């Protein structure tokens, strides 16, 4: 079974995150266990689409969402593409597979008022954790970076002279994002407090816990949820909604789609276009100002 080699390929050649690699590996291993138990398959190279389809039916009957099933099949498809690449198979059993239909997932951004309310609330205190939380939120909203990118920031990521921050995104792709003056001010205060508590070196994580340990996913999620749950009635208050808000607010203010694409670190415009759901009032305003028949 080539799962070990597949994992090495994802790590070394595709530069996928550990979270993604673990998810892919688990999906392939679960499917292999299914094929072995139900069809006496001992090598995934022997699998045909009929077996995969029966697994899909089983998942549907178990109440697994179409979105989750599509993700599992994407992992399996990646595995078979790897086998094609190394010459272990001549064709993929998923070559003609079509993804299951899923409802469009609408992410509702925070309003500018909601973001401002949270930022003002945190500014009322000046202890280390409050400054860190403030910087965390300002970076997520002011640069549009992902949660994993925020956690991966180092002290050396900041260029104070150029007033930029170097963000390492998916597949280790780097991009430079400008820093707003408000972020620079918060950063300066945070670094002073951090350096009082810990001996930070150039390669140390930028954002740390009160024990000096690098931030982790659940902590970032809890911080964002805690603050925004108090000021927003939205059902979803995750770090990604701040990234969504960043893109939406820029586009609503007339920012160019290509510029937003570069700031977000997207590889294609298709990913950025998810954020182009301008509200009806914005559309009305632009229409009223721009259409030649509306000129007085």
> Can 266 be counted among the known catalytic residues?
yes
DSSP 8-class letter at 152: T
Active-site position among 147, 194, 243, 261: 243
What does the CA dihedral 29, 35, 38, 42 come to, rounded to 10 degrees? Answer: -100
User: CB 9: neighbour CB atoms within 10 A?
Assistant: 19
Gap between the Cα atoms of 18 and 170, Å rounded: 11
> Can 244 be counted among the known catalytic residues?
no
> Can 291 be counted among the known catalytic residues?
no
Among 152, 173, 166, 146, residue whose Cα is nearest residue 243: 146
Active-site position among 77, 132, 146, 175: 146
Distances (CA, A) of 110 to 186, 221, 263, 283: 21, 15, 19, 19
Gap between the Cα atoms of 133 and 244, Å rounded: 19
Active-site position among 170, 214, 225, 234: 170
What does the CA dihedral 218, 224, 225, 230 come to, rounded to 10 degrees? Answer: 160
> Can 170 be counted among the known catalytic residues?
yes
> Can 97 be counted among the known catalytic residues?
no
> Can 216 be counted among the known catalytic residues?
no
Gap between the Cα atoms of 226 and 267, Å rounded: 32
Catalytic residues, by residue number, are: 146, 170, 240, 243, 266, 275
């Amino acid at each position: 079974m080539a799962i070990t080699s597949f994992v090495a390929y994802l790590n070394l050649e595709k530069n996928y995150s550990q979270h993604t690699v673990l998810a892919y590996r688990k999906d392939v291993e679960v499917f292999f266990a299914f094929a072995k138990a139900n069809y006496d398959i001992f090598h995934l190279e022997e699998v045909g689409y009929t077996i995969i389809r029966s697994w899909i039916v089983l998942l549907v009957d178990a109440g697994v969402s179409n979105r989750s099933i599509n993700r599992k099949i994407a992992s399996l498809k990646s595995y078979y593409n790897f086998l094609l690449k190394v010459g272990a198979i001549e064709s993929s059993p998923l070559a003609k597979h079509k993804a299951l239909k899923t409802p469009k997932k609408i992410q509702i951004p925070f309003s500018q008022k909601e973001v401002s309310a949270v930022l003002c609330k945190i500014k009322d205190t000046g202890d280390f954790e409050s400054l860190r939380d403030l910087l965390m939120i300002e970076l997520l909203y002011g640069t549009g970076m992902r949660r994993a990118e925020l956690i991966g920031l180092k002290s050396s990521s900041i260029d104070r002279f150029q007033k930029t921050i170097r963000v390492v995104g998916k597949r280790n792709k780097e991009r430079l994002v400008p820093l707003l003056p408000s972020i620079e001010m918060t950063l300066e205060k945070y670094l002073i407090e951090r350096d009082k508590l810990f001996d930070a070196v150039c390669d140390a994580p930028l954002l740390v816990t009160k024990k000096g340990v690098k931030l982790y996913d659940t902590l970032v999620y809890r911080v964002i949820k805690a603050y925004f749950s108090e000021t927003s009635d939205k059902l979803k208050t995750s770090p990604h909604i701040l990234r969504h808000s960043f893109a939406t607010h820029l586009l609503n203010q007339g920012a160019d789609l290509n510029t937003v694409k570069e700031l977000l670190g997207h590889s294609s415009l298709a990913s950025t276009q998810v954020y182009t759901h301008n509200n009806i009032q914005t559309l009305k305003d632009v229409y009223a100002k721009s259409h030649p028949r509306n000129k007085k």
